[in-house]
Amino acid sequence: MNTENALKGNNKLCKICYSPFSDTYLVKEMMFGFRDEFSYNQCSSCGCLQIAEFPQNIDKYYPPYYYSFNAETAPLKRQPFIKRIVGNFRLKKLFKKDRPALRYLKPIDVNFSNKILEVGCGKGRQICDLFNLGFENIEGVDKFIPQEIDHGFGVRILKKDIEELKPNNYDLIIMNHVLEHMPEQLNVLKNCRRLLKDEGCLLIAIPIIAEAFEIYKENWVQLDAPRHFFLHTVKSMNILAEETGYEIRHKLFDSLSFQFWASELYKKDIPLFPEENNRLAYPVEKYFSEEEIENYQTKAAKLNAEGRGDTAVFYLFKKAN
């Protein structure tokens, strides 16, 4: 029996480690200020928070002005032939520079010839940036886009479910703040494992329950009700990886001052995007001084160094059968 399927509709047990819940939090939708309330249960063992009921009207909470729908993609430029010939020597130099698109790739052994897939990539901003740096064997998949997108040079965003993709086909799969939006956690990771080549890597960037949640509880900005279905702990991610055939070899904590100032706004009942159809976030300078923001960023850096930041990247490597 598929344990995850057996747990559907069972709101008394954790869907990660199957332990009973200990605490329940009532969380408001505050990104856009709908203020609809949703219950989240916290596991008594692994600590994972999970929404009690998956909303039937989830589209309401992804309006057309939702930020990821409007992310601009850079025009593609293929690297000159000589740069492609010396590709991996050039990549080492790029890693020494502060290139945002490469930030998550630094801890792993990656090269320009690797076949890379980004899951839940929207219009494909990240994979376009990676192509422009020299990664040509790259594509995205997102079943929620209106139609397939062809950026040229073989860079496509497929409108498919990952179950439809070819197995044993990718060296690296990227899920950048996507997993928390997915209801079937085990099935997603199992399908990604099926797509990876031997020793392939699944890179997962997600919010993590840590210091900020302990401070703000139901006002923690990363709860992002009801769009985030699962908020993991390091412990629950270890359980999920083990259950689905992976080994976590690296972790990178990368939280920002956002975890503090945005949660402070929510405590004051101030939405992150206070005006309908306006993509501009709340003007934080009206509420926080530059010194306060700097202090928040200093605190975030300290928490990251201690492994207690509220966002993290996990590097899951496919185990042999």
Q: What is the mean pLDDT of the chain?
A: 90
> What is the DSSP secondary-structure string of 220-276?
-GGG-TTT--EEB-HHHHHHHHHHTTEEEEEEEE---THHHHHHHHHHTT--SS-ST
Q: Is the pLDDT of residue 263 over 90?
A: yes
Question: In the chain, pLDDT over 70 holds for what percent of residues?
Answer: 92
The region of weakest confidence among 4-8, 19-23, 68-72, 138-142 is: 4-8
Residue-wise pLDDT tens digits, 186-242: 999 999 999 999 999 999 999 999 999 999 999 999 999 999 999 999 999 999 999
pLDDT band for 275, please (50, 70, 90 cuts). confident
Neighbours of 29 (CB within 10 A): 20
Q: How confident is the model at residue 296 (pLDDT cuts 50, 70, 90)?
A: very high
Q: What's the CATH fold of domain 3-318?
A: Rossmann fold (3.40.50)
| CA distance linking residue 109 with residue 150, whole number of Å | 28
- Look up residue 267 and give its amino acid: K
69 dihedral zone (left: phi>0; alpha: psi -120 to 50; beta): alpha
Lookup: tokens for 166:
């070819």
Q: Which has the closest alpha carbon to 280: 2, 14, 67?
A: 67
User: Is the dihedral angle over the CA atoms 204, 202, 158, 2 positive or is it negative?
Assistant: negative
| Beta strands 170-176; 246-253: pairing state | unpaired
Where in the chain are the domains?
3-318
Least confident among 57-66, 197-206, 304-313: 57-66
Q: Is the pLDDT of residue 7 over 90?
A: no
pTM of the complete model? 0.92
For tokens 């997962």, the residue is 204
Q: What is the pLDDT of residue 5?
A: 46
SS3 content of the chain, % helix, strand, coil (to 5): 35, 25, 40
Single-letter amino acid, residue 229 = F
pLDDT at 99: 77
Spatial contact of 259 and 300, defined as CB atoms under 8 Å apart: yes
- Region 168-181: mean pLDDT is 97
The per-residue pLDDT for 277 is 58
Q: How many CB atoms lie within 10 A of CB 178?
A: 19
Structure tokens at 284: 């934080």
